[in-house]
A = this chain, B = another copy of it.
Amino acid sequence: MSAERLLVIGGDAAGMSAAAQARRLRPAGDLAITVLEQGPDVSFSACGIPYWVGDVVSDRDALIARTPGQFAAQDIGVRTGTRAEAIDLDAGTVTTGAGEVLGYDALVVATGGRPLRPPVPGLDAGGVHGVHRLADGADIRAAVAAGARRAVVLGGGYIGLEMADVLHARGLQVTVVLADPLPMTQLDPDMGERVCKAMGDMGIEMQTDQPVREIETDADGVVRAVRTDAGSYPCDLVVLGLGMGPEVALAEAAGLQLGVTGAVDVDRTQRSRSHPEVFAAGDCAQTHHRLTGEAAHIALGTHANKQGRVAGSVIGGRAARFAGVLGTALTKVGELEIARTGLSTAEAERAGYEFRTETIEGTTRAGYYPGADPIAVKLVSDVGSGQLLGGQIVGGPGSGKRIDVLATAIWAGMTAEEFAGSDLSYAPPFSPTYDPVIVAARVASRVEQG
Interfacial residues, chain A to chain B (CB-CB below 8 A): 13, 45, 47-48, 51, 56-57, 59, 62-63, 158, 290, 300-303, 305-306, 318, 322-332, 339, 341, 366-370, 398, 400-405, 407-409, 411-414, 418-419, 421-431, 433-435, 437, 449
Contacts and interface: CB of A to CB of B under 8 A. Distances in A.
Contact of A401 (B368, B418, B430): B430
Given A45-B366, A62-B368, A408-B405, A424 B328 contact: yes
Contact of A370 (B57, B290, B370, B418): B57
Contact of A59 (B318, B326, B368, B404): B368
21 contacts: A47-B427, A48-B366, A48-B368, A51-B428, A57-B369, A301-B426, A302-B426, A305-B434, A306-B421, A323-B422, A330-B425, A331-B427, A400-B425, A402-B404, A403-B425, A404-B435, A405-B405, A407-B422, A407-B424, A411-B423, A412-B414
A429 B324 CA distance: 24
A318 to B, nearest CB: 8
A79 B431 CA distance: 30
Contacts of A323: 418, 421-422
Contacts of A413: 412
Contacts of A328: 423-425
B48 A433 contact: no
Contacts of A326: 422-423
Nearest to A319: B449
Contacts of A366: 45, 47-48
A433 B13 contact: yes
Given A332-B430, A411-B422, 19 more contacts: A45-B368, A48-B368, A51-B369, A56-B369, A56-B370, A62-B367, A302-B423, A305-B434, A328-B423, A341-B425, A400-B430, A401-B402, A402-B404, A404-B435, A408-B408, A408-B424, A411-B418, A411-B419, A412-B414
Nearest to A324: B423
A370 B62 CA distance: 11
B408 A425 contact: no
Given A408-B408, A408-B412, A332 B423 contact: no
A300 B428 CA distance: 12
A63 B404 CA distance: 29
A302 B404 contact: no
Contact of A408 (B51, B332, B422): B422
A48 to B, nearest CB: 5
Most buried by B among A323, A370, A425, A433: A425
Contacts of A408: 405, 408-409, 412, 414, 419, 422, 424
A402 to B, nearest CB: 7
Most buried by B among A323, A414, A424: A424
Contacts of A407: 422-425
A302 B430 contact: no
A398 to B, nearest CB: 7
A325 B424 CA distance: 9
A43 B305 CA distance: 48
Contacts of A404: 402, 404-405, 424-425, 435, 437
Nearest to A338: B427
A424 B327 CA distance: 9
Contacts of A431: 401
A28 B398 CA distance: 41
A154 to B, nearest CB: 21
Contacts of A13: 433
Nearest to A417: B323
B63 A368 contact: yes
A324 B412 CA distance: 19
A449 B62 CA distance: 34
Contacts of A433: 13, 45, 301-302, 305
Most buried by B among A302, A368, A435: A368
